[in-house]
Amino acid sequence: DGGITQSPKYLFRKEGQNVTLSCEQNLNHDAMYWYRQDPGQGLRLIYYSQIVNDFQKGDIAEGYSVSREKKESFPLTVTSAQKNPTAFYLCASSMASTYNEQFFGPGTRLTVL
């Protein structure tokens, strides 16, 4: 089955720790995205990547970092510099052209203790 997988489903972090969220897709999509979802605020774009070894900041990139070493993988690191990291994180992918559907993974819920 083609799709997007995210792991873990739930993640707990102590303040001051960096954590990495995994995102893998087997849809052969060029573009991948990370969104943050908070109640009442919709989806906000953190980072996106159009091609391997290239990525761009979205609207709320501060305190986050990404890498795109393989087409299939786009991991997100939530660093200790992110002041309010507790949220639901969604990874998506799409063909690298407009009018194409973004396919979303099941999400990772991160809680800072």
Partner 1 sequence: QQQVKQSPQSLIVQKGGISIINCAYENTAFDYFPWYQQFPGKGPALLIAIRPDVSEKKEGRFTISFNKSAKQFSLHIMDSQPGDSATYFCAASRPPYNFNKFYFGSGTKLNVKP
CA distance 13 to 89: 14
Asked if residue 45 binds partner 1 (CB under 8 A), the reply is yes
Per the CB < 8 A criterion, the answer to whether 52 and 66 are in contact is no
- Asked whether position 53 contacts partner 1 by CB under 8 A, the answer is no
Residues 72-111 that bind partner 1 (CB under 8 A): 90, 92, 94-107, 109
Residue 100 CB, shortest distance to partner 1, in Å, is 5
Listed in order, strand segments (DSSP E) in 2-86 are: 4-7, 10-13, 19-25, 31-37, 43-51, 54-57, 64-66, 76-78
Binds partner 1 by CB under 8 A, chosen from 31, 52, 60, 61: 31
Nearer to partner 1, 16 or 99 (CB): 99
